[in-house]
Amino acid sequence: MSDEYPPCIGCGYCCMKSLCMLGSIKYGYKTPCPSLVLKDGRYWCGEVLSADDERRPVIERDLAINAGCCSSMNTQRQRQRMYQKMNGVNGFKPLNIVMSGVDLAFIRLVVDDQHPWPSNIPEPEIKGTQVTFFSVMALMDCVNRLSIRGYEGAASRVQDAFISRERDANCAPF
């Protein structure tokens, strides 16, 4: 890893924004990359996970996996760090957020997205104007999906509601 780039934290930004050569050859130019896998609280390349021990280091080197984050546009690093700090610390009580207008529409778009939710993450539930997140992973995945699609305002409001609740409960490990 280069000293000038912050270390990779597995936020998935690079694979959500554009495909590497391997992904482009295998899937065409679809984003986010269909090989992107959320596992153990971070994103991984499915091609690397499924590669044998001999091919894995070659793929990692060729794709610069874990070489560090060189994108100044990456807003997901902070969100991923927050998730990694909070995961499993105090358990997760479902978070209910009342959203309205455009924010609710954006959340509906990403929840109903064609890119399926990982099987280990319960999808957020939307009833009327209330959105319920059942895990930190679901909340962070929704925030990442909002951010990637340019809905930064909605992403920030969802994240802020979570941070407020955690601070009010005196359980935020910041």
For the stretch 95-133, what's the b/e string if a residue is b when 16 or more beta carbons lie within 10 angstroms of its beta carbon?
A: bebebeeebbebbeebbeeeeebeeebeebeeeeeebeb
5: domain range?
1-73
Kind plus residue range of the DSSP H or E element containing 158 = helix 152-168
Whether 34 and 65 share a structural domain:
yes
With 0-12 CB in 10 A as exposed, 13-18 as middle and 19+ as buried, what is 165? middle
Domain edge (last residue) among 73, 89, 110 = 73
Whether 101 and 133 share a structural domain:
yes
Q: Which pLDDT tens digit goes with each residue over 21-44?
A: 888 888 887 778 888 888 877 788
Average the pLDDT over 95-119 and give the result: 78
> Residue 86 — pLDDT band, cuts 50, 70, 90?
low
Q: Give the pLDDT confidence score for residue 72 in this predicted structure.
A: 63
Its pTM stands at 0.46
Whether 111 and 127 share a structural domain:
yes
